[in-house]
Amino acid sequence: MRFIYIVHPPYLPARWIKIHKGRVGGLAALTTKKERAEYFRKHGSWRVLKGWLIEQSHGKCWYCEAKIERASFDVDHFRPKLGITVDGTKMPGDSGYYWIAYEWWNFRLSCPRCNRPEKDVDGVTYGKANEFPLLDESKRCIRPGMSISEERPKLLDPCDEKDCKLLAYGIDGETKPASDDGQWDCQRALLTIKQLGFNAYATPESKRSQWRAIDALIRLAGNHPDVISCLQERLSPEHEYSSFFRSAIGTHRDRAWVEALL
C-alpha cells in the first residue's frame, strides 16, 4: 500500500461538479434504504471519476498496488454507501454512509479482489465489500451531521500516510504489520492484510519470484547501468508492488550505490 497524495484542491473532471450537485439533490429526497439502493443502481456516477482515480495511483489498485489486465477497476467507497458489516456480520438497522456516496474523498480505486467478496480454494473469504469496523462503535456516524472525524477505522486507508507506514514487506513476498506488539496499529495492519487478501492468490510467490531475479542481478552484476535502471524502475511509484520492491532492495543498502537509489 503506497500513500496516495491528492493535490488540493483536486483537479476533478469539469463535469463532476454538475453531476455531484444533481446526484446529491436527488438522494436527499429519498427516505428508505430500498429507494437509495435503486437510486445508486441507476446513478453510479462515481464512475465518472474512475479515470481521475487511476491517474492518482499510476494505474494501480490503491490498496494492494496491483495492476490488472483484462478486467476493470472498481470505485470503492471507503465508508460503505448502503450497509456495514463488522467481522462479516451486518449491523442491524444500518443504512451505511449514504449521504457521502457521491463525495470524491470517500472513493478509493480498488482491484476486484481487494473490493469484492471472493472465496479462495480453502473457503476463506477475502475482499473489503461492506466491512468497516471501528475501534469504538459509539463514535460511529449513523446519520448526516455527525462528525466522521471522531471515527477510528480499523481498516488502513491508502489516503492516510501514517496508515501506509503500518505495513511492512518481507523478501518472502508477504505483507506484514510493521510492528508485532499486538496493539491497535498492529491489529489494524493484520485485519487489512487478511480482509483484502494481500497474501492470498499466490501473490507472495509472484513477488518472491520477481525479487530472486533482481537479487541475483545485484549480487552478480553490481552497479552496472542496466542493473541501476532495473532497480529505478521497480522503485518508481508507477511500478506494480513498488512498496515491496523498495523494502526488498533495501536489504542491499549496505552497498553505497544501492543506498543512493533509495
What percent of the chain stands above pLDDT 90? 88
Count of C-beta atoms within a 10 Å radius of residue 10: 12
Please give the pLDDT value at position 131. Answer: 96
Q: Tell me the mean pLDDT in the region 174-202.
A: 94
The cell numbers describing 16, all together, are 463532476
Q: What is the pLDDT of residue 69?
A: 80
pTM of the predicted structure, to 2 decimals: 0.94
* Strands of 73-172, DSSP E: 74-77, 85-86, 89-90, 107-110, 118-119, 125-126, 167-169
Would you kindly state where each structural domain of the chain is located, as residue ranges?
Answer: 16-159+182-195, 203-259
Cell of 164: 501506509
Rounded Cα distance, 167 and 178, in Å: 5
Residue 6, pLDDT score: 95
Residue ranges of alpha helices (H) inside 8-82 are 16-28, 33-42, 50-56
* Residue 123's pLDDT band (cuts 50, 70, 90): confident
Distance between CA atoms of residues 69 and 134, nearest Å: 33
Q: Give the pLDDT of residue 208.
A: 96
pLDDT of 70 over the 80 cut: no
CB 242 within 8 A of CB 207: no
Mean pLDDT of the chain: 94
